[in-house]
């Protein structure tokens, strides 16, 4: 998939691109059918909501689930990002966020690159966020909210929130959010929420300020979030465990476009369980062997 000049301009201006219905219902169903089995596992890679058994985030499914391993190599997602960065990509993070009906909690206002810089020592913002909806997303089930153009500010001030939800995050304070929303148009477009059918995809800049509210509706809002990083921009520190911030910087090789519906061999290194090393952490920067 080639991005048009108009799409490249829109990405520079707004910090995101929305592709409604990019994956077909048949393709999305293959992925969605896997989720209950993954969420039922009692493993570190399933982070549950505070005070609830509902899964907030499942990490690294592309290393132990065949359909998600294929999604992680899908050309409809990889090729436009490769084109934007003019470089090969590796998978920095792979999440399936639940935001389950009645139980899905908020994601506070944040930039993802703030976390990747502060925690993982990723050198620059040459990494892209991709959201793929596995459920229809509507105004009621906790859609993503973006502040258009906020990526142009680069990394903004943030504080490490360890208490609001079950997942630590570098969050942006209310005063700065108020300023950024006013700059983006206030009540006229200062906050936008791409909504659409299951199978829709959003590409969004790693400095775009975003959040989502809790899901009080009776509809799940399961979405996959992949973070694709330019290989030369790989992280320099393993402060977070490997199942959260990956350490394999091998360039992603795409599968054919029909990969979700046909059999193609994929490597599933954690099929029989996560290795103990995936839990190890280190606060020193590392150097790659040359």
The secondary structure element, H or E, covering residue 81 is helix 75-85
* Token pair for 146: 């973006």
Helices (H) and strands (E) in the chain, counts: 7, 12
Q: How far apart are CA 161 and CA 175, in angstroms?
A: 16
Contact call for residue 212 and ligand SIN (CB under 6 A): yes
Contact call for residue 229 and ligand SIN (CB under 6 A): no
Site string for ligand SIN, 192-211 (x = CB under 6 A): ------------------x-
Smallest gap from residue 148 Cβ to ligand SIN (A): 16
Closer of 167 and 255 to ligand SIN (Cβ): 167
Give me the residues paired with residue 204 across strands: 16, 129
* Ranges assigned E (strand) in 20-138: 46-48, 55-59, 89-97, 107-110, 127-133
Q: How far apart are CA 155 and CA 206, in angstroms?
A: 9
Smallest gap from residue 118 Cβ to ligand SIN (A): 15
Q: How far apart are CA 215 and CA 101, in angstroms?
A: 6
Contact call for residue 18 and ligand SIN (CB under 6 A): no
The residue from 16, 225, 243, 270 that contacts ligand SIN (CB under 6 A) is: 225
The residue from 32, 92, 99, 238 that contacts ligand SIN (CB under 6 A) is: 99
* Token pair for 284: 């020193």
Smallest gap from residue 115 Cβ to ligand SIN (A): 9
Closer of 45 and 167 to Mn ion (Cβ): 167
Q: How far apart are CA 52 and CA 159, in angstroms?
A: 25
Smallest gap from residue 56 Cβ to ligand SIN (A): 8
Name the pairing type of β-strands 46-48 and 107-110.
unpaired
How many residues in the shown chain lie near ligand SIN by CB under 6 A?
A: 8
Contact (CB, 8 A) for 70 and 259 = yes
- Return the one option of ligand SIN, Mn ion, none that residue 18 interacts with (CB less than 5 to 8 A, by type): none
Name the pairing type of β-strands 144-146 and 210-212.
antiparallel
Closer of 82 and 115 to ligand SIN (Cβ): 115
Closer of 130 and 252 to Mn ion (Cβ): 130
Smallest gap from residue 212 Cβ to ligand SIN (A): 3
Contact call for residue 227 and ligand SIN (CB under 6 A): no
Q: Interface residues with ligand SIN (CB under 6 A)?
A: 97, 99, 107, 144, 210, 212, 223, 225
């Amino acid at each position: 998939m080639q991005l048009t000049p108009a799409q490249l301009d829109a990405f520079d201006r707004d910090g995101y691109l929305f592709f409604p219905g990019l994956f077909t219902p048949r393709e999305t169903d293959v992925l969605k059918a896997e989720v209950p089995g993954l969420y039922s596992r009692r493993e570190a890679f399933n982070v549950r909501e505070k005070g609830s058994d509902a899964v907030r985030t499942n990490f690294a499914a592309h290393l132990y689930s065949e359909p998600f391993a294929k999604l992680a190599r899908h050309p409809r997602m990889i090729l436009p990002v490769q084109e934007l960065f003019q470089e090969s990509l590796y998978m920095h993070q792979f999440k399936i966020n639940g935001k389950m009906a009645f139980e899905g909690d908020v994601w506070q206002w944040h930039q993802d690159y703030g976390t990747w810089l502060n925690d993982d020592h990723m050198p620059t913002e040459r990494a892209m966020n991709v959201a793929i909806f596995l459920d229809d997303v509507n105004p009621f089930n906790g859609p993503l909210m973006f502040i258009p153009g906020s990526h142009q500010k680069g990394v903004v001030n943030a504080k490490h929130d360890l208490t609001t939800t079950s997942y630590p995050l570098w969050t942006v304070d209310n005063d700065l959010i108020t300023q950024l929303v006013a700059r983006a148009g206030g009540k006229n477009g200062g906050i936008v929420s791409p909504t659409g059918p299951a199978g829709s995809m959003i590409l969004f800049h790693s400095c775009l300020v975003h959040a989502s509210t809790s899901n009080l509706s009776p509809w799940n809002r399961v979405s996959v979030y992949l973070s694709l990083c330019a290989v030369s921009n790989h992280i320099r520190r393993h402060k977070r465990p490997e199942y959260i911030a990956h350490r394999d910087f091998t360039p992603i090789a795409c599968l054919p476009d029909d990969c979700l519906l046909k059999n193609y061999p994929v490597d599933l290194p954690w099929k029989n369980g996560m290795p103990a090393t995936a839990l190890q952490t280190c606060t020193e920067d590392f150097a790659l062997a040359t």
